[in-house]
Structure 1
Amino acid sequence: MKELLAGSVEDSGSTHIVAVDARVAREASKSPTLGFSADFVTAGPVGADVIRPGDTLSLTIWENVDDGLLTNQGLNATGLSELQVDDEGFIFVPYAGRIRATGNTPDALRLAITDKLKDQTPDPQVLVARAAGDGATVSVLGNTGAQGVFPIERPTRTLSAMLARAGGVAVDPETAQITVTRHGRTGSVWLKDLYSNPRMDIALRGGDVILVEKDTRTFTALGATGAQTRIDFDTPNLTALEAIARVGGLNTNLADPKGVFILRDEPAPVAAAVLRKPGLQGSQRMAYVLDLTQPDGIFNARDFVIRDGDTIYVTEAPYVQWQKTLSVLTGTASSANAISSVAGGG
């Protein structure tokens, strides 16, 4: 512990040593939470029948004459399939010309086509059907049951519905993170928050990219703990007490419960609040110290939230260090005695 304390700012070092109390635990646990911005949240569901560039339409036109403009001899109906809406939002219909389709529902487009044809053929009847195309699809990537491009249809106009359409998530729901990219803007949410907070179940837009991935955050445990290794997070919020438990707790034969350190580079706003030093610039090296022998030490450890990249270091108890020193001295004396015995025997 002395070596760590020697590197403190007070001793001309570069690390701020901070004893954790209730206030420090509260301030140091503030971190950006996942969620979608207002632009995502306030966007209402799109009309599933609104036509967009890239959509594919099919038309059926009935004419009330035996020899119509579009129909073959002996037929009174003709079908025009796979009419793709161009980038400018138009389609071409024989004898009706270029007609704007974008922004219309199939029924509104039907009326527009009928109006164009009625002066050329008596009482035309038009049916418009829309199949979702490039303009009304989203891409689903990552750890899902099925990756691919899926159309936005009436049952799949929201994020949760589209995830279900893609076969659900293929990772532990506790650590699944959902990211949506739209027109260069990105928002992320934990899967469990998506289902617990209806506001996070955002309406989708054509061109959205949905990425499902496992939580990649880790922390490192060193010193007198049950394990010295790098550990993956298994929950969106992990406290110091839970992190210590994850690595097998403190080594009862070695650990000093007064010397549990959490080491991190703290952003300037958080460091300023913890240290009560407004105006700090740049990230600050922080060593938070938990004393688990104090009455509220366990509570503070329970309230202190671990962040990605943290290092938990548990120091050795003073008597352990003394035992090591004594062992070295005893070992040296034993070796000297052994050499003397050999020399005397020779």
Structure 2
Amino acid sequence: MDSQATVKVESVDRKVGIDYALVDINKTVLAYADKTVNSSLSGTFGGGRGGPPQIVLGVGDVVQVAIFEAQSGGLFIPADAGSRPGNYISLPKQTIDREGNITVPYAGKVKASGRPVDQVQLDIASRLANRAIEPQVVISIDQSRSMEASVLGDVKTPKKIELSPAGERILDLISEAGGLSAPGTETTVTLQRRSRSVTVPYDVVSKTPAENIYAQPGDTLIVNRERRTFLAFGVTGESGRYDFDDSNLTLGDALAKAGGLLDDKAEPQAVLVYRIVDKDFLHKIGVNTQGFTSKDVPVIFRANLRDPSGFFMAQKFPMQNKDVIYVSTSPSVEFLKFLTIVNSATSSASNIADTRRSIRNR
């Protein structure tokens, strides 16, 4: 192969040159391993507890203002209006402009965007107090364009959803969009809010009440089907790529899916999991990271299944999407390979000597 290559590029000693950390799976690692599996909606945005977010007016909302006076003969109600069903007028519907204002006669431009309805009502009433007779103001929202959240991706009916004062949570939005169009175990939920974005598995949101946070105006929820898999190589029952089929897959479960370890060939002391982790995780478990310049660090987690406690560790160590499991070969197998080679060489030499004797005897 080398002799036929037009150009040959080799590393020194044929090493790839990627720095990595080797970490034994122990109690300290397990204490933080669960926290590295998923990001958190509640941890990033809050909103998992307490009441729903306050509904405020926004640019683009269409509102109608009604002004009541205590009696006729005031600013808006003429003196001859005694036959009317009520001492009020309804102003024409108007859209909150780009500056966030609405216009009310004799009150001028009133700031509406970013304020709850009751505050705007009181503001208008106070501006009219010196002209109208005990004015009262009621604002009704005809179209709420600013109080919407979008649901996109692998749902049955992607749409914009108007948020109500009662408050909608993440699962409420997905439900209003028709529900998932893919299995929950293969689905992730990405919440984009202002300049931040967090992705979590759907099963985490559905099984953890604190993660089912309230939606806020302007949120974009992207539901995405993502096939979560891991690779198994080395001395396992069957190497290959496997689906998780479970949001809480552990190393023990993954080894079982791959057929376990071959008893006569595998080295139980060297069950390895290859993964890229955040440098902060290594800080937490006491690993010196000065030798790594990047925030993401290649890590090999090693499980020792010769130690009985290693099986408990394997059953608690959580797998992540795109992990690679490698089970190394037992040293005894390598020794047997060596003996086989030696035996083969010895047999070949013996056969050659026998052949030469046979020729001479002829």
Whether TM-score is above 0.5 comes out as yes
Check conservation: 1:132, 1:152, Cα contact below 8 A.
Answer: no
The Cα of 1:86 is off from its aligned counterpart by: 0.9
**In 2 relative to 1, CA 146–266 (structure 1 residues): closer, same or farther, beyond 3 Å?**
closer
For residue 54 of structure 1, the aligned residue among 60, 80, 94 is 60
The Cα of 1:105 is off from its aligned counterpart by: 1.8
Does 2:329 match 1:306?
A: no
Check conservation: 1:156, 1:165, Cα contact below 8 A.
Answer: no
CA RMSD of aligned residues (A): 4.6
Aligned to 1:166: 177
State how 1:1-346 maps to structure 2 within 5 Å: 17-23=22-28, 25-26=30-31, 31=36, 33-35=38-40, 36-37=42-43, 39-41=45-47, 45-48=52-55, 50-58=56-64, 80-81=92-93, 83-92=94-103, 97-102=108-113, 103-105=115-117, 109=121, 112=124, 128-215=139-226, 218-252=229-263, 254-265=265-276, 267-271=278-282, 278=288, 280-282=290-292, 286-318=299-331, 320-321=333-334, 324=337
Check conservation: 2:268, 2:306, Cα contact below 8 A.
Answer: yes
- What one-letter code is carried by the residue in structure 2 that aligns with 1:316? T
Is the deviation greater in 16-25 or in 105-114? 105-114
Query: For 1:305, what is the secondary structure of its paired residue?
Result: coil
- What one-letter code is carried by the residue in structure 2 that aligns with 1:293? R
- What one-letter code is carried by the residue in structure 2 that aligns with 1:152? L
Query: For 2:233, what is the secondary structure of its paired residue?
Result: strand
- What one-letter code is carried by the residue in structure 2 that aligns with 1:138? A
- What one-letter code is carried by the residue in structure 2 that aligns with 1:306? M
The Cα of 1:299 is off from its aligned counterpart by: 1.4
* Structure 1 Cα separation of the partners of residues 116 and 27 of structure 2: 59
- What one-letter code is carried by the residue in structure 1 that aligns with 2:323? D
Aligned residues: 320
Check conservation: 2:117, 2:139, Cα contact below 8 A.
Answer: no
- What one-letter code is carried by the residue in structure 2 that aligns with 1:57? V
Check conservation: 1:262, 1:288, Cα contact below 8 A.
Answer: yes
- What one-letter code is carried by the residue in structure 2 that aligns with 1:301? A
Where does the alignment leave 5 or more consecutive residues of structure 2 unmatched?
1-12, 69-75, 82-87
Identity %: 25
Check conservation: 2:107, 2:124, Cα contact below 8 A.
Answer: no
Where does the alignment leave 5 or more consecutive residues of structure 1 unmatched?
1-6, 8-12, 69-75
Q: Deviations over 1:81-139 (max 9, x none)?
A: 4x21112222245676544433242795499379759969x999986431343311111
Check conservation: 1:268, 1:281, Cα contact below 8 A.
Answer: no
**In 2 relative to 1, CA 184–21 (structure 1 residues): closer, same or farther, beyond 3 Å?**
closer
Check conservation: 2:186, 2:228, Cα contact below 8 A.
Answer: no
* Structure 1 Cα separation of the partners of residues 29 and 45 of structure 2: 34
**In 2 relative to 1, CA 233–101 (structure 1 residues): closer, same or farther, beyond 3 Å?**
same
The Cα of 1:209 is off from its aligned counterpart by: 1.3
Query: For 2:311, what is the secondary structure of its paired residue?
Result: helix
Query: For 2:259, what is the secondary structure of its paired residue?
Result: coil
* Structure 2 Cα separation of the partners of residues 179 and 30 of structure 1: 18
The Cα of 1:200 is off from its aligned counterpart by: 2.8
- TM (normalized to structure 2)? 0.67
The Cα of 1:223 is off from its aligned counterpart by: 1.0
* Structure 2 Cα separation of the partners of residues 24 and 119 of structure 1: 72
Q: Deviations over 1:266-290 (max 9, x none)?
A: 544544665x554644266544433
